[in-house]
Amino acid sequence: MLGIQARLTLLFVVIVTVVLGISGSYAQYTLAQELEVNNQRLRDGVLTRLQTSLPSALWDLDKTKVDNIVAAEMLPPELVAIRVYDTSVGLFAGKRRNADGTVANVDGNADVAGTPVVADLAYRETDQSARPVIVGRVVVNFSRDQIEARLAAEIRRRVSEALLLDLILVVALALSLRIVFDPLKGLRDGLFELATRGSDEVEELPEKRRDELGDVIRGFNAIQRRVKTIILRTREAEDAARRAAQETAQALHDLRQAQESLLQAERLASLGALVAGVAHEINTPVGIALTSASVLKEATEEIHDAITAGAVKKSEILKYIGTAGESARLIMNNAYRAAHLIHSFKQIAVDQVSEARRRFELRDYIGEVVSSLQPRLKKTRLDVTIDCPDNVVLDSYPGALAQVITNLTLNCVDHAFAPEQEGTIAIRVRPEGDWVGMEVADNGRGIPADLLDKVFDPFVTTRRGQGGTGLGLNIVYNLIVKQFGGTIAVSSVEGQGATFALRIPRVTPGDTLADPAPAP
């Protein structure tokens, strides 16, 4: 950013340049008009003289006299050529100006530059009452080079004057403004040092001046002395506050250590109670996959020996194919179960799901998610209903929202109903300004009161040993709160179903997550 001195200099230079430009433009316009008038006078004079002197010489066919008259008129540099034509013989005489300024006879076939002006030559006999006779015509070519050269020279002179005046003005302002700005720079440096260094290290500014700036400097020194006194008192108060803060920090540290110890013990107790169940859940599919692979290996070795001996039978091949197909199915199913369980555990450790965000219509997207769950839902007697208005558009993470809906729906399937029990899972959406409220409710058995406050904690499940890991609702909680910047709450009466109430913004916050909104 330019300083005040530079801006003042620039302002004065611009004003002077504009004034000189306006005056120069007016002078240029006046000069151009004057040159045009003079040029017109020259044209009129040349044509008048030629129309007066040439007719008699042309009537007498006196070429020498015509050449002399034409040569005399070629003296002004504005004239490029004069050509005299006779009515009977054509070009009678003429002169032209060469590029070096010399005058030579004109050639009938040569091109002539300049602007041509044509005038008839009328001869009047001695009897003034007789009509004049047209004896020929004269063509005069005028050049504007002199006018343009004069105007260009005037422009160069004006520009040079403006640049010289600007330079003189810059030098004069630079010298004169130093009288004001040098003391101000000293005051600025003193203020900067007072702000960035200790007041004891800053010296007072000299008070030699006896003008307005001297008064400002003396005021600055008085403020500096006052600040030193305030800083001294502040340091004393800071020392006392620091001692009190150290004592408070030590007490707070001891309290936090006690809290951390209690929290760590609670975490370890919760994890310890679940280690056996988690290990069993992973061990079961892995064990079945290993057993199936072993059976497949033995069957492969048997069929290989039979093929090598050349005594393979069709029944043995069919038996092998059946064994291989069943083993492959068991390996795939149990490997998928183990991979799914491990994937869920990995998601618990991730603070935020990383995926692409986009705009999408909520009603259609919920329908797509529910449709993708039909292979699981068709094995039950449950009905899933969707109540969502049209044109509810979110700018968010569709993959994370799909996981939330999937986990909540399957949580109802697994926990709210018996295997063959009929029931309903309702997904309801209500727009709330810049937010969207969503409910996933069922009419199943409900959540026990002792688990209601812990359903979102990791590893909390009522189906341990039956495939439950206690991770689904914890993943939902982390996605809603951390990924979307929203809130989630659960309400339930045992025997009357459960309702999960979510509230997320229409536009998910970017790098900085929004504060969770209060529950509706």
Residue 353: the pLDDT is 40
Q: Name residues whose C-beta falls within 8 Å of residue 480's C-beta, 6 or more positions apart in sequence.
A: 404, 486, 487, 488, 502, 504
Long-range contacts of 117-121 (CB under 8 A, 24+ apart): 117/43, 117/47, 117/141, 117/142, 119/47, 119/50, 119/51, 120/51, 121/50, 121/51, 121/54, 121/55, 121/58, 121/84
Q: Do 148 and 15 share a structural domain?
A: yes
* Average confidence (pLDDT) over 459-486: 75
Most confident segment among 125-129, 177-181, 266-270: 177-181
Residue 169 domain-assigned? Answer: no
Q: What is the CATH number of the domain that holds 401?
A: 3.30.565.10
Residue 128: the pLDDT is 60
Number of folded domains in the chain? 3
Residue 436: the pLDDT is 95
Whether the predicted pLDDT of 500 surpasses 90: yes
* Higher per-residue pLDDT: 457 or 429: 429
- Cα–Cα distance measured from residue 166 to residue 20, given in angstroms and rounded to the nearest whole number: 10
* Average confidence (pLDDT) over 203-210: 68
Whether the predicted pLDDT of 261 surpasses 60: no
Residue 6: the pLDDT is 77
Residue 482: the pLDDT is 85
Q: Do 106 and 230 share a structural domain?
A: no
Residue 163 domain-assigned? Answer: no
* Average confidence (pLDDT) over 119-130: 73
Residue 263: the pLDDT is 37
- Cα–Cα distance measured from residue 317 to residue 302, given in angstroms and rounded to the nearest whole number: 10
Residue 402 domain-assigned? Answer: yes
Whether the predicted pLDDT of 60 surpasses 80: yes
Class of residue 3 by CB neighbours under 10 A (exposed 0-12, middle 13-18, buried 19+): exposed
Whether the predicted pLDDT of 343 surpasses 60: no
* Higher per-residue pLDDT: 210 or 173: 173
**Percentage of the chain modeled with pLDDT above 90:** 11
Average pLDDT, the chain: 79
Residue 443 confidence class, pLDDT cut points 50, 70, 90: very high
Whether the predicted pLDDT of 481 surpasses 70: yes
Whether the predicted pLDDT of 180 surpasses 90: no
With left for phi above 0 and alpha for psi between -120 and 50, is residue 439 left, alpha or beta?
Answer: beta
Residue 63: the pLDDT is 87
Q: Do 488 and 358 share a structural domain?
A: yes
Q: Do 501 and 453 share a structural domain?
A: yes
**Residues 187, 216 contacting (CB under 8 angstroms):** yes
Most confident segment among 128-137, 259-268, 362-371: 362-371
Last residue of a domain, one of 330, 349, 368: 349
307-341 tens-digit pLDDT: 888 777 778 788 888 888 888 888 888 787 677 55
Residue 514 confidence class, pLDDT cut points 50, 70, 90: very low
Q: Do 149 and 43 share a structural domain?
A: yes
Whether the predicted pLDDT of 387 surpasses 90: yes
Q: Do 261 and 312 share a structural domain?
A: yes
pTM: 0.36
Strand ranges, E, within 398-451: 422-432, 435-442
- Domain holding 308, by residue range, is 222-349
Residue 273: the pLDDT is 34
Q: Do 59 and 18 share a structural domain?
A: yes
* Higher per-residue pLDDT: 387 or 115: 387
Residue 176 domain-assigned? Answer: no
Q: Where are the alpha helices (DSSP H) in 197-211?
A: none
Least confident of 187-196, 402-411, 447-456: 187-196
Residue 396 domain-assigned? Answer: yes
Last residue of a domain, one of 156, 183, 200: 156
Whether the predicted pLDDT of 419 surpasses 50: yes
**Residues 384, 409 contacting (CB under 8 angstroms):** yes
Residue 197: the pLDDT is 65
Residue 431 confidence class, pLDDT cut points 50, 70, 90: very high
Q: Do 378 and 336 share a structural domain?
A: no
Last residue of a domain, one of 156, 178, 211: 156
- Cα–Cα distance measured from residue 95 to residue 83, given in angstroms and rounded to the nearest whole number: 7
Closest CA to 80 of 100, 96, 101: 96
The tokens for 258 are: 């006690």
Whether the predicted pLDDT of 489 surpasses 80: yes
Residue 340: the pLDDT is 58
Whether the predicted pLDDT of 351 surpasses 60: no
Residue 450 domain-assigned? Answer: yes
Q: Do 285 and 272 share a structural domain?
A: yes
* Average confidence (pLDDT) over 449-460: 80
Residue 278: the pLDDT is 45
Least confident of 180-194, 395-409, 439-453: 180-194
Q: Do 383 and 447 share a structural domain?
A: yes
* Average confidence (pLDDT) over 260-265: 44
32-58 tens-digit pLDDT: 899 889 988 988 898 898 888 888 888
Residue 516: the pLDDT is 43
Residue 180 domain-assigned? Answer: no
Whether the predicted pLDDT of 276 surpasses 60: no
Residue 512 domain-assigned? Answer: no
Strand ranges, E, within 280-412: 358-361, 381-387, 393-396
Q: Do 384 and 330 share a structural domain?
A: no
Least confident of 2-11, 70-79, 428-437: 2-11
User: If you compute the radius of gyration of the chain from its CA atoms, what whole number of angstroms results?
Assistant: 53
Q: Is 364 helix (H, G, I), strand (E, B) or coil?
A: helix
Q: What is the CATH number of the domain that holds 21?
A: 3.30.450
Q: Do 464 and 340 share a structural domain?
A: no
